[in-house]
Protein backbone atom coordinates (compact mmCIF):
# COMPACT_ATOMS: atom_id res chain seq x y z
CA UNK A 1 0.00 0.00 0.00
CA UNK A 2 1.40 3.41 -0.90
CA UNK A 3 1.80 6.00 1.82
CA UNK A 4 -0.46 9.03 2.12
CA UNK A 5 -0.15 12.47 3.71
CA UNK A 6 -1.36 12.49 7.29
CA UNK A 7 -3.75 15.41 6.76
CA UNK A 8 -5.21 13.86 3.62
CA UNK A 9 -5.91 10.46 5.10
CA UNK A 10 -7.22 11.82 8.43
CA UNK A 11 -9.57 14.18 6.64
CA UNK A 12 -10.82 11.22 4.58
CA UNK A 13 -11.56 9.21 7.73
CA UNK A 14 -13.69 11.82 9.45
CA UNK A 15 -15.55 15.08 9.23
CA UNK A 16 -12.36 17.07 9.86
CA UNK A 17 -11.11 19.30 7.08
CA UNK A 18 -7.42 19.20 6.18
CA UNK A 19 -7.08 22.66 7.76
CA UNK A 20 -8.55 21.33 10.99
CA UNK A 21 -6.19 18.35 10.91
CA UNK A 22 -3.23 20.72 10.58
CA UNK A 23 -4.44 22.57 13.66
CA UNK A 24 -4.78 19.31 15.61
CA UNK A 25 -1.22 18.41 14.64
CA UNK A 26 0.04 21.87 15.67
CA UNK A 27 -1.56 21.42 19.10
CA UNK A 28 0.21 18.08 19.54
CA UNK A 29 -3.03 16.09 19.60
CA UNK A 30 -2.03 13.70 16.80
CA UNK A 31 0.39 10.81 17.24
CA UNK A 32 1.75 8.36 14.68
CA UNK A 33 2.90 5.01 16.05
CA UNK A 34 3.08 6.50 19.55
CA UNK A 35 5.10 9.61 18.66
CA UNK A 36 3.81 13.15 18.08
CA UNK A 37 3.14 13.80 14.41
CA UNK A 38 6.01 15.65 12.75
CA UNK A 39 3.68 17.64 10.55
CA UNK A 40 0.45 17.49 8.60
CA UNK A 41 2.43 16.40 5.54
CA UNK A 42 3.98 13.40 7.31
CA UNK A 43 3.63 10.22 5.27
CA UNK A 44 1.74 7.32 6.86
CA UNK A 45 0.98 3.79 5.72
CA UNK A 46 -2.78 3.10 6.07
CA UNK A 47 -2.06 -0.63 6.46
CA UNK A 48 0.61 -0.36 9.15
CA UNK A 49 0.57 3.02 10.89
CA UNK A 50 -1.32 3.60 14.14
CA UNK A 51 -2.69 7.14 14.24
CA UNK A 52 -4.37 8.59 17.31
CA UNK A 53 -6.14 11.90 17.81
CA UNK A 54 -6.51 13.05 21.40
CA UNK A 55 -5.79 9.51 22.53
CA UNK A 56 -8.39 7.89 20.28
CA UNK A 57 -7.20 5.51 17.58
CA UNK A 58 -8.46 6.45 14.13
CA UNK A 59 -8.87 3.45 11.78
CA UNK A 60 -7.10 4.24 8.53
CA UNK A 61 -8.99 3.27 5.42
CA UNK A 62 -8.65 4.73 1.96
CA UNK A 63 -12.35 4.06 1.37
CA UNK A 64 -15.27 3.11 3.58
CA UNK A 65 -17.97 0.60 2.65
CA UNK A 66 -21.13 0.34 4.73
CA UNK A 67 -24.21 -1.83 4.46
CA UNK A 68 -27.40 -0.27 5.77
CA UNK A 69 -30.85 -1.73 6.34
CA UNK A 70 -32.77 1.28 5.05
CA UNK A 71 -36.09 2.00 6.76
CA UNK A 72 -39.10 3.49 5.01
CA UNK A 73 -39.38 7.27 5.06
CA UNK A 74 -35.66 7.86 4.49
CA UNK A 75 -34.29 9.06 1.16
CA UNK A 76 -31.27 7.60 -0.61
CA UNK A 77 -29.16 10.74 -0.72
CA UNK A 78 -26.30 12.44 1.07
CA UNK A 79 -28.31 15.59 1.83
CA UNK A 80 -31.96 16.58 1.66
CA UNK A 81 -33.66 19.69 2.99
CA UNK A 82 -36.98 18.05 3.78
CA UNK A 83 -36.35 14.39 4.67
CA UNK A 84 -33.80 12.37 6.65
CA UNK A 85 -31.21 10.66 4.46
CA UNK A 86 -29.36 7.36 4.73
CA UNK A 87 -26.15 9.32 5.46
CA UNK A 88 -27.94 11.07 8.34
CA UNK A 89 -28.36 7.62 9.93
CA UNK A 90 -24.65 6.74 9.84
CA UNK A 91 -23.33 6.76 13.43
CA UNK A 92 -20.68 9.38 14.29
CA UNK A 93 -17.88 6.84 14.62
CA UNK A 94 -18.36 5.80 10.98
CA UNK A 95 -19.12 9.22 9.54
CA UNK A 96 -16.62 10.74 7.13
CA UNK A 97 -16.57 13.23 4.30
CA UNK A 98 -17.78 12.21 0.87
CA UNK A 99 -20.16 9.41 1.85
CA UNK A 100 -23.04 8.72 -0.55
CA UNK A 101 -25.43 5.85 -1.33
CA UNK A 102 -24.25 3.66 -4.20
CA UNK A 103 -27.59 3.42 -5.92
CA UNK A 104 -30.94 4.63 -4.70
CA UNK A 105 -34.03 3.12 -3.17
CA UNK A 106 -37.34 4.96 -3.26
CA UNK A 107 -38.35 6.71 -0.05
CA UNK A 108 -40.88 4.01 0.82
CA UNK A 109 -38.64 1.08 -0.20
CA UNK A 110 -36.67 -0.71 2.51
CA UNK A 111 -33.65 -2.96 2.66
CA UNK A 112 -30.08 -3.03 1.50
CA UNK A 113 -28.23 0.18 0.68
CA UNK A 114 -24.48 0.43 0.21
CA UNK A 115 -22.95 3.68 1.47
CA UNK A 116 -19.41 4.51 0.44
CA UNK A 117 -16.99 7.22 -0.64
CA UNK A 118 -15.54 5.04 -3.41
CA UNK A 119 -16.87 6.47 -6.67
CA UNK A 120 -15.09 3.87 -8.79
CA UNK A 121 -16.75 0.96 -6.99
CA UNK A 122 -20.14 2.67 -7.14
CA UNK A 123 -19.72 3.09 -10.89
CA UNK A 124 -18.80 -0.57 -11.33
CA UNK A 125 -21.85 -1.89 -9.50
CA UNK A 126 -24.29 0.65 -10.94
CA UNK A 127 -23.14 0.89 -14.56
CA UNK A 128 -25.71 -0.56 -16.99
CA UNK A 129 -22.82 -2.39 -18.65
CA UNK A 130 -21.99 -4.25 -15.43
CA UNK A 131 -25.39 -5.96 -15.10
CA UNK A 132 -24.84 -6.53 -11.37
CA UNK A 133 -27.99 -8.34 -10.13
CA UNK A 134 -30.17 -6.72 -7.50
CA UNK A 135 -32.81 -8.83 -5.76
CA UNK A 136 -36.05 -7.54 -4.24
CA UNK A 137 -39.07 -8.88 -2.41
CA UNK A 138 -42.25 -7.32 -3.81
CA UNK A 139 -45.66 -7.56 -2.17
CA UNK A 140 -48.61 -6.81 -4.48
CA UNK A 141 -52.20 -5.79 -3.94
CA UNK A 142 -53.40 -8.76 -6.01
CA UNK A 143 -52.31 -12.31 -6.89
CA UNK A 144 -49.35 -12.95 -9.15
CA UNK A 145 -50.04 -14.41 -12.59
CA UNK A 146 -48.00 -16.53 -15.02
CA UNK A 147 -48.24 -13.65 -17.51
CA UNK A 148 -46.27 -11.43 -15.15
CA UNK A 149 -43.37 -13.88 -14.96
CA UNK A 150 -43.41 -14.34 -18.72
CA UNK A 151 -43.43 -10.60 -19.32
CA UNK A 152 -40.61 -9.94 -16.87
CA UNK A 153 -38.51 -12.65 -18.55
CA UNK A 154 -39.10 -11.19 -22.02
CA UNK A 155 -38.64 -7.54 -21.05
CA UNK A 156 -41.36 -4.92 -20.60
CA UNK A 157 -41.62 -1.67 -22.60
CA UNK A 158 -41.51 1.34 -20.27
CA UNK A 159 -42.12 4.29 -22.54
CA UNK A 160 -39.25 6.53 -23.57
CA UNK A 161 -36.75 4.54 -21.48
CA UNK A 162 -37.28 1.56 -23.75
CA UNK A 163 -37.75 -2.10 -22.94
CA UNK A 164 -36.35 -3.50 -19.71
CA UNK A 165 -33.66 -6.14 -19.72
CA UNK A 166 -34.99 -9.63 -18.99
CA UNK A 167 -35.81 -9.93 -15.29
CA UNK A 168 -36.56 -12.94 -13.11
CA UNK A 169 -39.84 -13.13 -11.19
CA UNK A 170 -40.20 -15.99 -8.69
CA UNK A 171 -43.56 -16.37 -6.89
CA UNK A 172 -43.11 -17.05 -3.17
CA UNK A 173 -46.69 -16.57 -2.00
CA UNK A 174 -49.93 -15.61 -3.72
CA UNK A 175 -49.03 -11.91 -3.60
CA UNK A 176 -45.29 -12.07 -2.82
CA UNK A 177 -42.50 -12.40 -5.40
CA UNK A 178 -38.73 -12.36 -5.55
CA UNK A 179 -37.61 -10.11 -8.42
CA UNK A 180 -34.09 -9.99 -9.84
CA UNK A 181 -33.07 -6.99 -11.96
CA UNK A 182 -29.82 -6.20 -13.75
CA UNK A 183 -30.53 -2.52 -14.31
CA UNK A 184 -32.14 0.36 -12.42
CA UNK A 185 -34.73 2.41 -14.26
CA UNK A 186 -36.80 4.93 -12.31
CA UNK A 187 -39.43 3.13 -10.17
CA UNK A 188 -38.75 0.12 -12.38
CA UNK A 189 -40.38 -2.71 -10.42
CA UNK A 190 -43.48 -0.66 -9.61
CA UNK A 191 -43.86 0.33 -13.26
CA UNK A 192 -43.34 -3.23 -14.50
CA UNK A 193 -46.10 -4.58 -12.28
CA UNK A 194 -48.33 -1.63 -13.14
CA UNK A 195 -48.38 -2.89 -16.74
CA UNK A 196 -50.45 -5.80 -15.38
CA UNK A 197 -52.68 -3.58 -13.25
CA UNK A 198 -50.90 -4.56 -10.04
CA UNK A 199 -49.73 -2.15 -7.35
CA UNK A 200 -46.59 -2.81 -5.30
CA UNK A 201 -47.58 -2.22 -1.67
CA UNK A 202 -44.24 -3.24 -0.15
CA UNK A 203 -40.76 -3.44 -1.69
CA UNK A 204 -37.54 -4.56 -0.03
CA UNK A 205 -34.06 -5.04 -1.52
CA UNK A 206 -32.37 -8.14 -0.12
CA UNK A 207 -29.15 -8.42 -2.14
CA UNK A 208 -26.76 -6.80 -4.62
CA UNK A 209 -24.26 -8.82 -6.61
CA UNK A 210 -23.35 -11.82 -4.47
CA UNK A 211 -23.88 -9.90 -1.22
CA UNK A 212 -27.04 -10.44 0.83
CA UNK A 213 -28.52 -8.03 3.35
CA UNK A 214 -27.40 -8.76 6.90
CA UNK A 215 -30.79 -9.44 8.47
CA UNK A 216 -29.35 -8.86 11.94
CA UNK A 217 -29.28 -5.14 11.13
CA UNK A 218 -32.30 -3.37 12.54
CA UNK A 219 -33.96 -0.76 10.31
CA UNK A 220 -31.64 2.24 10.14
CA UNK A 221 -28.59 0.34 11.35
CA UNK A 222 -25.42 -0.12 9.33
CA UNK A 223 -22.05 -1.84 9.58
CA UNK A 224 -18.78 -1.95 7.68
CA UNK A 225 -18.30 -4.50 4.93
CA UNK A 226 -15.41 -6.94 5.09
CA UNK A 227 -12.96 -7.02 2.15
CA UNK A 228 -14.56 -10.31 1.10
CA UNK A 229 -18.02 -8.73 1.09
CA UNK A 230 -16.79 -5.85 -1.07
CA UNK A 231 -15.67 -8.46 -3.61
CA UNK A 232 -19.06 -10.21 -3.44
CA UNK A 233 -20.79 -6.91 -4.08
CA UNK A 234 -19.21 -6.70 -7.53
CA UNK A 235 -20.16 -10.20 -8.67
CA UNK A 236 -22.27 -10.39 -11.80
Catalytic residue annotation:
106
Three-state secondary structure along 123-143?
A: HHHHCCCCCCCEEEEEEECCC
Ramachandran bin of 123, using left for φ above 0, alpha for ψ from -120 to 50, beta for the remaining angles? alpha
Q: What is the rounded CA–CA span in Å between residue 165 and residue 231? A: 24
DSSP for 6-61 reads HHHHHHHHSS--HHHHHHHHHTT-EEETTEE-S-TT-EE-TTT--EEETTEE----
| Distance in angstroms (rounded) separating the CA atoms of residues 80 and 100 | 12
Amino acid sequence: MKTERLDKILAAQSTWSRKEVKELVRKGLVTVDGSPAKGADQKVDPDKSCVQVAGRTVPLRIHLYLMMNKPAGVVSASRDDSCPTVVDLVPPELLRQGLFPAGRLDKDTTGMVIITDDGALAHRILSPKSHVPKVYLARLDRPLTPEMAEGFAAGIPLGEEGTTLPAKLEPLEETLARVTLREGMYHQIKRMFAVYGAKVVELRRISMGGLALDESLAPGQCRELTPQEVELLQQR
